[in-house]
Structure 1
Amino acid sequence: MLNKTASRALALIAAAVVLTAAALSTAGCAGTPAVKREAGKSYSLTVLHTNDHHGTVLPNGGQGGLAERATYIAGVRAADANVLLLDAGDINTGSALSNMFKGEIDINAYNLMKYDAVAFGNHEFDNDLALIEKQIAQAEFPWLSANVTRADGKYLDQAYIVKNYDGFRVGVFGLTTLRTLTIASPDKSLKFADEIATATAMVEKLRTKEKCDLVIAVAHLGLVEETAGQVTSEKLAAAVPGIDLIIDGHSHTALTEVKYVGSTPIVSANEWGKFVGEGRFEIVDGTVKAFAWKPVQINKKDAVTFAPDAAVAAMIAPYKEKADLTLKEVVAETSALFEFGDRLSRKKEIALGDMVNDGAMWYVKEVLKKDADFAFTNGGNIRAELPAGKITREQITTVLPFDNWIYLTKMKGSDVIKLFEFIASIPQGAGAFAQVSAEARYTIDYTNDIKKGELKDLTIKGKPVDPDAVYTFVTNDYLMGGGDGYAVLKNNVEAYNTSTTLRDVIIAYAQYKKILEPMTDGRITIVGGMTF
C-alpha cells in the first residue's frame, strides 16, 4: 500500500497530466511577458467576493438580495479603478424563485454585476450536465475549476483566468471539493482530480508561464472538515505555497477577520449574499506589501444601506411575477417557528426533520396505501426554517429545494442495522446526518470520538431490529444512489420510485394537516457531541 507521501506524489503527476491535456481550454497565454511597472511605486487591487449564494435572489430577513448587492458593487467600482469580482461557488440550489427558473435569474444578475469569474461548487452538480452546459453558455463570466475535466481531458469550462492591471498581473484559479463525488450527482463522464496536487501545478503554471504577480484561489473546499481526509482551505494553504489569497466557499463560514495559515490569508463571506467580502492588496514591484479585509453586510433587517439596483431589479421583476402566480399559494399554517438555525438539521433532531419524515410516512400510508416501517432523509436536504404563521408553496420549496424523488425500499434487518451504524458514524455538521420518522429511535454516542459516533439502543416501531426480517422504509433517490456516502443502501432487496418529489409530498401533508406544530419527541438522542 502506498503511503500518503507517495499517493500525493502520484496525484501531483496525474494533475500535471490533466493540466497539460487541458491547456487549450485555459484563459491566458503561456510565456506572456511580465507587465510593465514603475519601480518602487505602490499599486492597489480591491477584491470583492461572495460564496454559497444558493439562489437567494431576494433579500432574506432584510439581508442580501441580488439587486442590493449590485448597488454595493457599483459603489466600490466607482471609487476604485482596480476591482476584481469573484464568487467561490454554489450559485445553484436555494430559494423557490431561483429553483423554478434553474438559476437563470441568478446568472443574469451576475452578468449584470460583471463578475470576473465563479468557481464550480458542489451544488452546481446537483444539475445534469445538459443544464450545466446551458448555464456555462448563459454566463458572461468563466466558471472555474482546475480539478474538474471532461472525458476528453478538457476543462468543464476554464481552469483559471489572467487579468492585467496597471503595474501587476493577477491569476485566479478554481477548485471544487472532491466531496462533490459523494454529496452531489456529477455526470459520470466528469473526472475530479486531487485538490492539493492540482493547486500545486496551477501555482507553478501561473507564476512561471503566465508570470502572475498575484495568485488567488477561489476554492469551494470549506473550512470545516466534514469527513476524514477532506481537503479544506486551511489544508490547502498549509500544503501549497505561493497562493496570495484563498477565497473559500462550501462551509458557509462567517469570518469577521482574515484567517491566516502561515502567511496565506483565507477569507469567506458567509452565505446567501448576506455579506460581500472586501479585500485590498497593496503591491510594490510585483510583491504584496499589505492586505486588509472586511466583510460588508448587505443591509440589515431594520436598516437599508444599499437600495436595489434598478437594472437588476427590473430583470428580476418578470420572473417574480410569473412565479408568484403559483408559489404564493398558502398551503398551511404553523403554530410557531420551525427552527433551522446554523444548519441544525445536520447536528441534532429538529422539528423540521421530524415533520418532513412523518409527512413522508403519512403520504406512503394514506395516499399510496403502502406499508412502511420508517422514513429518513439526510439533514442536508433541509435548507431553511419555516416561519410562524401562514405557509406558502414557496416557503416549503425553499426548505426542500431539491428535486428528490421518494423511494420505497426493502432491506434485510442486518443491513438496516448497518445503515444506522453508518448514520451514527457521521460527524455532527455533515449533510449526511440523518433526520428520521417517529418509528425509528436511537442514540448516537460521541463520547469516544467526536467525529465518529457509536450506535446504541436502535428500535423500529418500539422493537429491536430483527437481522433476519425484511424492513420497508422511505428515503430519497439521492441517497439511494449512494449520495452522502450511503453506499449501504445498495444492499436493498427491492426499490420502488414513487415518482413523487419529497417537496410535493410535504406540500400535500401540510395541506392535509392545515396546522403544523413544531415539536420533537426524542427519537434521536445525542451523547457527548455538540450541545445547543
Structure 2
Amino acid sequence: PAPAPAPAPVVEEPKELVYPYGVQEIVKNDDGAKVFDLFIVHTNDLNGNIYSENGGLGLARLSTALKAGRALTDNWLLLNSGNVGEIPAEAAMLAAEVVDELGYDAYTPQAVQLATGIAGTKKALPLSANALDANGYLVAQPYQVYNYNGFKVGVVGLVAPKPIQGVSFTSDVILDNAQYAVDMARDYVDFIVVLSDLGSKGDLTSEMVARNIDGIDLIVDGNGSAMAKTVNGTLIVRADEMLRSVGGVQVSVANGKVKSVYPMILPAADVLDPAKSAIAKAYEPFARAMGYTLQVSVPEDPAIVSMIGATPKPKV
C-alpha cells in the first residue's frame, strides 16, 4: 500500500502582543522600510487662540499644513501638550471633533476630562500615567504604543497637578517608580516619549523628570516658552504657545535602531508669509525637485472652517 501522506505542517498564528493595562499597539506604517525618518510633530498651549490671530497659525491653517506633511510620509506622530484654553460646556464635543479632524494621535488631557473621565475624542488619545481617582485607579489611559515597520514608540502621559475634586496627582510616586516603568518599557518599545504639561515651574518639572529618570528619549512638554535642550541624555522640547510655532523632532531609524534625533521649530510667520521665510527659501530647491513649491501662503482647511468658522477679518 502507498505510504500515508505526511501531515501538513502546523502554522502557528502570530500571537498578538499584550501590553500592560490592556493597551493594544497602533500600526502607523507597515510598508516594510528598514531605513526611514520618523517625524514627531507637536503643538503646545493653544490657550484658546484657534484662529490666525495674535501671531498664531490658527487651527484651519495648521490642518492644511498637517495634511501636506502626511501626504509625504506615513511615519508621522502628532502630539499636543499643555492648556488648550477655556472651552464652554456646549462646545466641548465640537472641540473634541476638531482634535480628531486635525489628526492628533495623543494629547495631555484637560482638567474637565480628568474630572469626568470622558475623553470626547474618538481617535486622539488623552494620556496620563499619574492622575488617580479616590480609589487609586488611573483616570486615563497611561500610555500608547505606535508601530512603524517594527520600530515601536511608546508615548507616556504625565500631567501637572490640577485642582480637581477626587483626583490626585502622584508626583512622589512618579519619581519613585518611573525608573522601573521606563526599564520595563524597554522590553516592549524602541523609543520612549513622555508627553507632559509639567513645564518648568512647580514641584515637579520636565527637567526634574529627565534628571532623575534614565532612559527617556524625548519629553514633549507644555506650559512654557519654546525650547529644545538635553538633560541627562533626554531631549526636552516645547513649541511656542498659541500656535505661534509648531515643533518637530526628526528621528532617523535604520534597522530598528535610532541613528539621530533632530529637533526643529517652524514659526507661524514662516507659514503665514513664506515669501519672507528663510526656512522656505532654503528648502525651496528640494520642494521644486519634488514638483511643488513652498512659496505660497497656506490656506485654511475647509473641513476645519466648516466646524469653527474662518478667521475673522481684521476690523478696519
* TM-score grouping bracket, smaller chain normalisation: 0.7 to 0.9
Matched residues, number: 269
After superposing on structure 2, the runs of 4+ consecutive aligned residues of structure 1 that deviate more than 6 Å are 36-39
**1:212 matches 2:176:** no
- Name which one, 1 or 2, has greater alpha-carbon Rg: 1
**1:254 matches 2:226:** yes
1:319-330 equivalences in 2 (<5 Å): none
Once residues 154 and 143 of structure 1 are traced to their aligned partners in structure 2, the CA distance between those partners, rounded to angstroms, is 16
Aligned alpha-carbon RMSD (Å) = 3.2
Once residues 83 and 170 of structure 1 are traced to their aligned partners in structure 2, the CA distance between those partners, rounded to angstroms, is 11
Query: Residues 115 and 201 from structure 1, CA distance in 2 versus in 1: closer, same or farther, beyond 3 angstroms?
Result: farther
Secondary structure of 1:109's aligned partner: helix
Query: Residues 153 and 279 from structure 1, CA distance in 2 versus in 1: closer, same or farther, beyond 3 angstroms?
Result: same
Look up the match of 1:281: 251
Once residues 299 and 140 of structure 2 are traced to their aligned partners in structure 1, the CA distance between those partners, rounded to angstroms, is 34
Secondary structure of 2:82's aligned partner: coil
Q: Structure 2 length normalisation: TM-score?
A: 0.75
Q: Give the gaps of 5 or more residues in structure 2.
A: 1-19, 275-296
8 Å CA contact 2:57–2:272 kept in 1: the answer is no
Query: Residues 285 and 239 from structure 1, CA distance in 2 versus in 1: closer, same or farther, beyond 3 angstroms?
Result: farther
Query: Residues 264 and 37 from structure 1, CA distance in 2 versus in 1: closer, same or farther, beyond 3 angstroms?
Result: farther
Q: CA deviation at 1:37?
A: 11
**Deviation digits for residues 367-389 of structure 1 (CA, Å, limit 9, x no counterpart):** xxxxxxxxxxxxxxxxxxxxxx9
**Deviation digits for residues 74-110 of structure 1 (CA, Å, limit 9, x no counterpart):** 11111122000111232232xxxx4474444432221
Q: CA deviation at 1:303?
A: 2.4
Once residues 229 and 121 of structure 2 are traced to their aligned partners in structure 1, the CA distance between those partners, rounded to angstroms, is 34
**Deviation digits for residues 174-227 of structure 1 (CA, Å, limit 9, x no counterpart):** 00123x2xxxx212x21211233353243133212xx1001100011112x3x4
Secondary structure of 2:63's aligned partner: helix
Secondary structure of 1:137's aligned partner: coil
**Deviation digits for residues 492-512 of structure 1 (CA, Å, limit 9, x no counterpart):** xxxxxxxxxxxxxxxxxxxxx
Kindly provide the amino acid, as one letter, of the partner of residue 99 in structure 2.
Y
Look up the match of 1:115: 104
1:263-342 equivalences in 2 (<5 Å): 263-299=233-269, 303=273, 305-317=297-309
Q: Give the gaps of 5 or more residues in structure 1.
A: 1-22, 30-35, 325-388, 391-532
Secondary structure of 2:210's aligned partner: helix
8 Å CA contact 2:64–2:299 kept in 1: the answer is yes
8 Å CA contact 1:62–1:300 kept in 2: the answer is no
8 Å CA contact 2:32–2:149 kept in 1: the answer is no
The structure that is helix-richer by fraction is 1
Secondary structure of 1:259's aligned partner: strand
Q: Structure 1 length normalisation: TM-score?
A: 0.46
Secondary structure of 1:53's aligned partner: coil
Q: Percent identity?
A: 29
8 Å CA contact 1:280–1:291 kept in 2: the answer is yes
Query: Residues 166 and 295 from structure 1, CA distance in 2 versus in 1: closer, same or farther, beyond 3 angstroms?
Result: same
Kindly provide the amino acid, as one letter, of the partner of residue 244 in structure 2.
K
Greater RCO (CA < 8 Å, at least 6 residues apart): 2
Given candidates 50, 53, 58, the residue that maps to 1:60 is 53
Kindly provide the amino acid, as one letter, of the partner of residue 113 in structure 1.
L
